[in-house]
Amino acid sequence: MANKDPFDASHAIQASEGFDTKRLRSKSIVITGGASGIGEAAVRAFAKAGAFVTFGDISQDRGSSLAEELGKSVAFVPCDVTNWNDQIRLFRCAVDNSPDQSIDVVFANAGVAIPDGRLDAIDDDGEPTEPDVKGIRINLVAVLYTAKLAKWHFRQSRSGDGCLIMTSSLAGYWDHQGMVPYAATKWGVRGTMRALRQDSGMRVNIIAPWFIRTPIVSEEAWIGIEEMTAPVFAEVEDAATAVLHLACDEEANGKSSEPSMVVLMLMVGIGRSLAVVPRSYVTEGYMDLGARDAWDIENIAQEHHWVVKM
Ligand SMILES: NC(=O)c1ccc[n+]([C@@H]2O[C@H](COP(=O)([O-])OP(=O)(O)OC[C@H]3O[C@@H](n4cnc5c(N)ncnc54)[C@H](O)[C@@H]3O)[C@@H](O)[C@H]2O)c1
**Structural domain boundaries, residue 246:** 9-123+131-303
| Ramachandran angles phi, psi of 78, nearest 5° | -60, 130
Give a yes or no: residue 165 inside a domain: yes
For the CA of 207, the closest atom of ligand 1 is 7
Task: Kindly compute the dihedral angle of the four CA atoms of residues 112, 172, 301, 254, in this order, to the nearest 10 degrees.
Answer: -120
**Alpha-carbon separation of residue 128 from 2, 116, 132, 135, 184 (angstroms):** 55, 11, 12, 18, 20
Do the strands 52-57 and 74-78 form a parallel or antiparallel pair, or are they unpaired?
Answer: parallel
Residue 3 covered by a domain: no
Q: Which of 98, 182, 256, 273 is catalytic?
A: 182
Angstrom distance (rounded) from CA 277 to CA 285: 5
* Dist. CA 264 → ligand 1 center (Å): 34
Any domain includes 107: yes
Q: Find the DSSP H helices in 229-276.
A: 236-248, 259-268
Single out the catalytic residue among 98, 168, 256, 273: 168
User: Is 168 annotated in the active site?
Assistant: yes
- Domain total for the chain? 1
Residue 221 falls within a domain, yes or no? yes
Assign 174 to helix, strand or coil.
Answer: coil
Ligand 1 residue neighbourhood (C-beta within 6 Å): 32-33, 35-39, 56-59, 79-82, 109-112, 138, 167, 169, 209, 211-212, 214-216
pTM listed for this prediction: 0.88
Query: Which residue is closest in CA terms to ligand 1's atom 40?
Result: 111
Does any domain span residue 103?
yes
In a domain, 281, yes or no: yes
Q: What is the CATH number of the domain that holds 100?
A: 3.40.50.720
Does some domain include residue 203? yes
Per-residue pLDDT of the chain in tens (310 residues, 90 and over written 9): 344 566 666 677 888 888 999 999 999 999 999 999 999 999 999 999 999 999 999 999 999 999 999 999 999 999 999 999 999 999 999 999 999 999 999 999 999 999 999 999 999 999 999 998 999 999 999 999 999 999 999 999 866 679 999 999 988 887 788 899 999 999 999 999 988 887 668 899 999 998 999 999 999 999 988 887 666 889 999 999 999 999 998 764 322 222 233 333 333 335 678 888 888 888 899 988 765 454 455 555 555 555 544 3
- 272 lies in a domain? yes
Best of 84, 114, 214, 276 to mutate for ligand 1, by most ligand atoms within 8 A of CB? 214
Q: How far is the CA of 28 from the centre of ligand 1 (A)?
A: 21
CA-proximal residue: ligand 1, atom 7 (nearest): 169
User: What is the Å distance from ligand 1's center to 7 Cα?
Assistant: 27
